[in-house]
Amino acid sequence: MSNSTSVKQAGKNSNSAKIIKVLIIAGICAVIVFAAYALLFMPLGNPPAWIASVRQAFFASAFWIDFENNFITDDRYMYIVKGLGVTFEVTFFAVLLGIVLGVIVALVRSSYDTLKEELKGGFGKAVLYFFYKLCGIYLTVIRGTPVVVQLMIIYFVIFASSNNKILVAVLAFGINSGAYVAEIIRGGIMSVDKGQFEAGRSLGFGYVRTMAFIIVPQAFKTVLPALANEFIVLIKETSVSGYVGLQELTKGGDIIRSRTYSAFMPLIAVAIIYLVIVMFFSWLVSLLERRLKNSER
């Protein structure tokens, strides 16, 4: 008992040390950024000669001229700011839709795999078999075609009369994500020991209550890191929304490029923003995975 407690305590101390280390690094980076900003941009009444020379050289450099032309002139940076907001909006609602669809499809497919031998024909088995096959077709079609093609079909064919591009993007990415989430959750459900089903039945639970209160919570805990990674993948996938004219992050950088005829600065800025977002959420996923491992000890 004491060994288990000491292991848990050591895990908590390790996580705390890593969080403190990350905070220290973030603090140092913030100090460096603030110092650079103060050196170059903060108004000074009578700055020393070396500061004045540094500022003069910086503002005359090709880097600053290109930066000012791409982001400051006509407030062009707002294309990226607004695009980032649209990216997060589409990703958030697409994740919710994908989880709902994924859970439904996973439950249908895992229920058929579990109950097909218990159901001795009849209407119930026929209905379950129909939805099982329907979910199989959904998974085959969605996972077998590119997401950009699905997005264009939904926008130009199914919702050709609609001007709500955000809704179309949410539906397209949500439906696409749901297929992958379904397989993630189904794998988690099937990984739960069959004895858990028998334990639920012995407690007087029916199949639905056994799944809801015993199986799904255990499976969800197992697949949570994989679902978080699916969220990260979805953030990057939204970069193709520009094919239907939606002004998300990538499209915002492309609009700046079309205004300035300079591709390097806006596209590199977009790439860096995506990289920072992915690194941040990957760090959160790693924390989540360690927390789950510690809770299992």
Would you state the structure tokens that stand for residue 160, as one six-digit string? 């050709």
**CA dihedral over 210, 182, 225, 171, signed as positive or negative:** negative
The predicted structure's pLDDT at residue 1: 46
Domain extent listing, the chain: 16-54, 85-238
DSSP string covering 230-269: HHHHHHHHGGGGGGGT---HHHHHHHHHHHHS--HHHHHH
Calculate the average pLDDT of the chain: 84
Indicate if the pLDDT at residue 11 is higher than 60. Answer: no
The predicted structure's pLDDT at residue 59: 81
How many CB atoms are located within 10 Å of the residue 137 CB? 9
Q: What percent of the chain has pLDDT over 90?
A: 39
The predicted structure's pLDDT at residue 117: 66
Selected from 1.20.1270.360, 1.10.1040.10, 3.40.50.720, 1.10.3720.10, the CATH number assigned to the domain covering 85-238 reads 1.10.3720.10
The rounded distance, in Å, linking the Cα atoms of 26 and 279 is 13
The predicted structure's pLDDT at residue 126: 82
Q: Give the model confidence (pLDDT) of 184-233 as tens digits.
A: 998 888 888 878 877 877 877 777 788 878 888 888 878 888 888 888 99
How many CB atoms are located within 10 Å of the residue 114 CB? 17
Identify the residue whose tokens are 């959160």. Answer: 284
Mean pLDDT, residues 96-116 taken together: 87
Mean pLDDT, residues 112-125 taken together: 70
Indicate if the pLDDT at residue 92 is higher than 90. Answer: yes
The predicted structure's pLDDT at residue 134: 93
Backbone angles phi, psi at 156, to 5 degrees: -90, -15
222 or 153, greater pLDDT: 153
Q: What is the three-state SS of 148-189?
A: HHHHHHHHHHHCCCCCCHHHHHHHHHHHHHHHHHHHHHHHHH
Backbone angles phi, psi at 42, to 5 degrees: -70, 135
Indicate if the pLDDT at residue 32 is higher than 70. Answer: yes
Amino acid symbol at 251: K
The model's pTM? 0.82
Mean pLDDT, residues 272-289 taken together: 87
Helices 165-191 and 77-115 cross at an angle (nearest 10°) of 40
Indicate if the pLDDT at residue 56 is higher than 50. Answer: yes
The beta-carbon contacts of 155-159 under 8 Å, at least 24 apart in sequence, are 155/244, 156/244
Mean pLDDT, residues 267-280 taken together: 92
* Helix, strand, coil percentages in the chain from 3-state DSSP, rounded to 5: 85, 0, 15
274 or 21, greater pLDDT: 274
C-alpha dist (Å) from residue 144 to 150, 228, 236, 237, 281: 10, 22, 19, 16, 27
